[in-house]
Amino acid sequence: MNDRNHPSRLRPLARPIARLSLAATAAAALLLASGCGGGSGGQGGAASAELTGPAETLTLYRNNCVNCHGAELQGRMGAVTNLAEVGSRMSEAEIEAQIKSGSGAMPAFAERLTEEEIKALASWLAGHK
C-alpha cells in the first residue's frame, strides 16, 4: 500500500483542526448546558460589599444569578447582562416575567425558584435605578 495516498497524509492539518473544532464545540455545549444559574447548592459567587438588601434575596441572587450577572450586577457576558440600573430600564413586572420565562441565553427560573423567590428578586432588582 502506498503511504503517500493515506488520508492522514493528504490533509495533514485536517486532524488538528478537527480536534480543535470538536473541543470548541464541546466547550460551547457545556457552557450552554450549564446555563447561567449556579443552582441552589452553594454560593454562586463571592460576597460583594456593593450589594445591599434582604439577606435571603442576596443569597438567591448569589446562588442563581451571579454567574452571568456578576457579583456587583455589572454583567459578565456583555452589556445585556448588566443589571446595575435594570430598574430604570424595566418595570418590576417585566423583571419578574424575565426571571420566570428567560429570554435568549438566559434560562427560565420558574421551575427552579418559587413564586415568592422570583417576586423578591424582581422587587430587589427593580430598586436598582
**How do the domains of the chain map onto residue ranges?**
7-34, 55-126
Nearest in space to 106 (alpha carbons), one of 73, 72, 69:
69
In this prediction, residues 100-120 reach a mean pLDDT of: 96
What does the alpha-carbon distance between residue 113 and residue 120 come to, in Å, rounded to a whole number?
Answer: 11
Q: Which residues have CB under 8 Å from 27's CB, separation 6+?
A: none
Q: Any residues with CB less than 8 A from the CB of 7 and at least 6 apart, and which?
A: none
Give the chain's mean pLDDT: 79
For residues 74-103, give the mean pLDDT. 96
CB 90 within 8 A of CB 122: no
pTM: 0.64
In the structure, what pLDDT confidence band is assigned to residue 20 with cuts at 50, 70 and 90? Answer: low
Distance CA 23, CA 50 (A): 37
Tell me the CATH number for domain 55-126.
1.10.760.10
Over residues 31-59, the mean pLDDT reads 62
Whether residue 14 is predicted with pLDDT greater than 80 in this model: the reply is: no
Query: Does residue 9 have a pLDDT over 90?
Result: no
